[in-house]
Structure 1
């Protein structure tokens, strides 16, 4: 590496071209700043290229594959339906390329300069960018750190074995595993479990920790997993993974101390995300870190150095693209002098499994622990006309409220359309809505949105498609 003498002056540099980084870059450019976006790999980052988009190609495919039986019942005629993962991989790569090209075009249209290479801080106002044998020096006025996170796994597992996979590798398969062992309790593990069970794999799900859903969602989830013939092993930690010529053998330590072995054709593990800061040169700066080695920021995204900002997986909180996108826009607007903040209180949790799960706000248990006078209502999807005609009758909508003020505290959904419908719930939670605020608007019929309406109406026993409440109603 040879360091040149020429240093270029930049206005804003954004380090990392993932969803948080490119949203920040484009928003800052639209507000009149000159922006340089530095990315060492592909624009779109982990989310677009190897994470969110590839996995959702598979969840969408599995959902459509599952519908074929219902479509035949309705009268749609076609031959034998086969899940061809080789063709799916071709489709996945095509869509990723199209989406990445779209992001690059947006950057170009907004006059965002894209620089390829790995960036590191040399001082509080200078960075170096290395790209092969080239090395560039930039002075900057403001910088945004958006370098994302890396996945980490327990020691002793050989991921070089063909059938021992990390969660992103399983979405590169061109054949459906015969017997799949999934280890993890996050949304990715649940989506993998659902996808490959739908496509024909015999799936065993090993939960290494408790699921973080409302108790009603967890209960229904386990019922659905049983219905789909998915073997679930709870409260177990992995000890060994052995890949033989014919199978993968997983040794587990159960909560009661029992040691068990599980056999399958493939094994996949979901890792833990940690901030990707090792090569960023932060040791040269006085940037404050949290106890967990995330970059400490305020509600605008500003670090302990006023002109350096941090967003996404390098900051504390869920490792989700929605967080990074919101933080990226907020940081760009704060740089422009606008009054903004990021509040993750009602960040929705979504699992694109079958049926999908979407939640926001407090669980019933959290609301009781917080001292609220809790009222709950659950409206099962099977009573919804649209769910019946679409043959999507599994799931329910649960609403948690404070009976003293009628304020809605949490909304938890499982069923068709939950991922889209939860946005209405988030909007209501952000506005501190009471039940009457959800009941007053018109909900088109027939639609899945009526399940949310009737769940809210059920708080007072007024829902038409729910059985009458036996207890005396408090009004």
Structure 2
């Protein structure tokens, strides 16, 4: 088709079938829109096919591996444990395919038109879709850009997908690395480091230039470093990769640690780099859509760009590259297009890390609250004092509650330990509803359960935790004097 000929008319066109895109499509259809969803590769996007789902399958395998090895503590006699990489790969494909079919079925049930092809903006109301030799033009009233991002190129490093990996390939290795070097300090870096170490790899974690610690509450950072040390994960701070050389044995890595240049040999290297938005791949820049200096599209609290009929959501926009953000934005954009008044508020967006044990946090850290000049108190409950943690043998970690002294408002909740990923939702709801200390201590908690740790951490705010011994009287007096 020649551009300029008759175009197919649509109410709403969505570019990208990842979590944000397909949630937006279904919500828009629910609200009466005629929706066309365009995906150039596979439904589910990077998250399902290359990113968070494959990586979480890897961390789930590592967790299961740890549980089997520790089953002897409960009286089970376990023989040698082997990892069948082919079966792992087969299971991964099965899970991904099932989830993909589920998304397709949901779209069809909601009468969302699915198109496969590469989309490119021709104007502020037209888009071209190319699929092989086919090229079609669609004219739209509104469009949602959910085209995502890709791992940024790291100068001096060539990703071969065999020895040197990025976020899209590191969960698909055909062997357990002998020695894996992980470069980065973000969620991906920590999860991959913990998973492969649990599965038997020697792991070295290089924190990037300028980084000397992790971006968590100090209590989480301290506990994470302790666990990594116990697991024999080496941590090298303030590092910058200079060059890499691949040979038959693996990778020779040259890096700077401060001002010193050093070399490190490993079998595999994982670079957890920042993302580069796909803004230019779809021609969004030609429309004059507002972008920041890195090419990420700028959108308001309803996900509307500088073009009133074009919205943007997910990793192609400014903000943390998280599926939960894309999902929330996708629904908000669809509702705004339908004339409703949604608003995105990411203030209490939880952060979760699938390490062993997992980490989940929401709200202010102790340090952030102090920096804001707030008068705070801390409730800190170690899970080794929790009955269910003791009987399950998963005693590492803690639950920490940050509260304001004068108002008793809950400011932040930080959990490291078994159950953290599920318990954090209660913390998020508490912060959204402006909960106070008593809102966490008044409800009844099932017994025995890890959730009782939330109760005890909240009771600890006022010195009422049952399973924490009281401080010696001289310490109490010292606290009063201070």
User: What is the TM-score when the length of structure 2 is the normalising length?
Assistant: 0.95
Partner deviation per Cα, 1:6-32 (whole Å, 9 max, x = no partner): 311001111100000000000110111
2:166, 2:286 → 1: CA distance?
33
Aligned match of 2:71 = 71
2:163, 2:237 → 1: CA distance?
23
2:158, 2:72 → 1: CA distance?
44
The CA deviation at 1:85 is 1.9
The CA deviation at 1:81 is 1.7
Partner SS, residue 311 of structure 2 = strand
Per mean C-alpha deviation after superposition, the further-off stretch among 97-106 and 240-249 is: 240-249
| C-alpha spacing 1:62/1:316, structure 2 compared with 1 (3 Å) | same
2:156, 2:33 → 1: CA distance?
48
| C-alpha spacing 1:96/1:437, structure 2 compared with 1 (3 Å) | same
The answer (yes or no) to whether the contact 1:144–1:310 under 8 Å persists in 2 is yes
Partner deviation per Cα, 1:135-194 (whole Å, 9 max, x = no partner): 111111111000001111321112227312223322111211111111110111111111
- Count residues in correspondence: 473
The answer (yes or no) to whether the contact 1:237–1:253 under 8 Å persists in 2 is yes
The CA deviation at 1:77 is 4.5
Aligned match of 2:219 = 216
2:58, 2:444 → 1: CA distance?
35
The CA deviation at 1:378 is 1.2
Aligned match of 2:370 = 368
The CA deviation at 1:3 is 4.5
Aligned match of 1:300 = 302
The answer (yes or no) to whether the contact 1:161–1:243 under 8 Å persists in 2 is no
The CA deviation at 1:404 is 1.1
Partner deviation per Cα, 1:426-450 (whole Å, 9 max, x = no partner): 0011111111111111111111111
Aligned match of 1:441 = 443
2:396, 2:67 → 1: CA distance?
14
Aligned match of 2:166 = 166
The answer (yes or no) to whether the contact 2:27–2:335 under 8 Å persists in 1 is yes
Aligned match of 1:460 = 462
User: Is residue 153 of structure 1 aligned with residue 159 of structure 2?
Assistant: no
CA RMSD for the aligned pairs? Answer: 1.5
Per mean C-alpha deviation after superposition, the further-off stretch among 372-381 and 16-25 is: 372-381
1:372, 1:47 → 2: CA distance?
38
Aligned match of 1:31 = 31
Partner deviation per Cα, 1:339-389 (whole Å, 9 max, x = no partner): 210111111111101010111111111101111001112111101111111
Partner SS, residue 235 of structure 1 = strand
Partner SS, residue 242 of structure 1 = strand
The CA deviation at 1:423 is 0.5
2:143, 2:166 → 1: CA distance?
33
Structure 1 segment 8-47 matched on structure 2, within 5 A: 8-47=8-47
Partner SS, residue 411 of structure 1 = strand
User: Is residue 199 of structure 1 aligned with residue 199 of structure 2?
Assistant: yes
1:16, 1:117 → 2: CA distance?
10
2:152, 2:416 → 1: CA distance?
30
Per mean C-alpha deviation after superposition, the further-off stretch among 81-90 and 224-233 is: 81-90
1:246, 1:61 → 2: CA distance?
26
| C-alpha spacing 1:158/1:300, structure 2 compared with 1 (3 Å) | same
User: Is residue 380 of structure 1 aligned with residue 385 of structure 2?
Assistant: no
The CA deviation at 1:119 is 1.0
Per mean C-alpha deviation after superposition, the further-off stretch among 205-214 and 19-28 is: 205-214
2:2, 2:11 → 1: CA distance?
25
Aligned match of 1:225 = 228
The answer (yes or no) to whether the contact 2:71–2:78 under 8 Å persists in 1 is no
Partner SS, residue 269 of structure 2 = strand
Per mean C-alpha deviation after superposition, the further-off stretch among 316-325 and 335-344 is: 335-344
User: Is residue 177 of structure 1 aligned with residue 180 of structure 2?
Assistant: no
The answer (yes or no) to whether the contact 2:69–2:78 under 8 Å persists in 1 is no
Structure 1 segment 93-132 matched on structure 2, within 5 A: 93-132=93-132
Partner deviation per Cα, 1:274-315 (whole Å, 9 max, x = no partner): 211112222432322234322121111111122111100111
2:85, 2:207 → 1: CA distance?
27
Aligned match of 2:419 = 417
Gap runs ≥5 in structure 2: none
Partner SS, residue 38 of structure 2 = strand
Partner SS, residue 471 of structure 1 = helix
| C-alpha spacing 1:409/1:85, structure 2 compared with 1 (3 Å) | same
The answer (yes or no) to whether the contact 1:3–1:135 under 8 Å persists in 2 is no
Gap runs ≥5 in structure 1: none
Partner deviation per Cα, 1:108-134 (whole Å, 9 max, x = no partner): 000000011111111111111111111
Aligned match of 2:476 = 471
User: Is residue 254 of structure 1 aligned with residue 275 of structure 2?
Assistant: no
User: Is residue 245 of structure 1 aligned with residue 230 of structure 2?
Assistant: no
The answer (yes or no) to whether the contact 2:217–2:367 under 8 Å persists in 1 is yes
2:201, 2:164 → 1: CA distance?
16
2:161, 2:451 → 1: CA distance?
46
Partner deviation per Cα, 1:215-251 (whole Å, 9 max, x = no partner): 1111111000001011111111111212222232211
2:106, 2:253 → 1: CA distance?
46
The answer (yes or no) to whether the contact 2:290–2:306 under 8 Å persists in 1 is yes
The CA deviation at 1:324 is 0.0
1:274 to 245, 257, 276: 276
The CA deviation at 1:73 is 2.7
